[in-house]
Amino acid sequence: MSSFNKNMVVIPITAASDGDVSTWPGSPYTHRDDDSWRQKLAENWVKDAGACQQEKEAAVLREKRHNRFVEKCVNNPAWARGLSKDQVDEANQRFRSWVAGTGAVAGAGSEGASAPAGQDVEMAE
């Protein structure tokens, strides 16, 4: 080294550094192709940049279909057509009670009455 700069740090290659061939990975090491990582990086960059119009259109369509499903099957199911709001609420409450295993709702009449768990019920003729 003919010129020496006070701001420069010189790290010599020693026997323990990567400069020594004996410290390199052994024969099971294989160089991996990084094309797949580059592809993923490019795809994420395109999405973040907003250049992927098809992705946006697909998301809008998914949301529209989800909202339509909720409206038809949850908020306005076919079995509830022609019933008053009170009748629908009563049917929903009976169903929730049945699912929870608490039996029928008070005031539901003999139609919704259930037997204690594990007992048979006689049907009226």
The residue extents of the domains of the chain are: 36-100
Out of 51-55, 61-65, 95-99, 108-112, pick the least confident.
108-112
Quote the pLDDT of residue 61.
Answer: 94
| Banded model confidence at residue 112, pLDDT cuts 50, 70, 90 | very low
Q: Classify residue 59 as exposed, middle or buried by CB count within 10 Å of its CB (0-12, 13-18, 19+).
A: exposed
**Global pTM value:** 0.33
Is residue 64's pLDDT more than 90? yes
Does the CA dihedral 55-61-67-69 come out positive or negative?
Answer: negative
pLDDT of residue 108: 47
Long-range contacts formed by 100-107: CB under 8 A, 24+ apart: none
How far is it, in rounded angstroms, from Cα 67 to Cα 54?
20
For residue 27, is pLDDT > 50?
Answer: yes
The tokens for 17 are: 């550094």
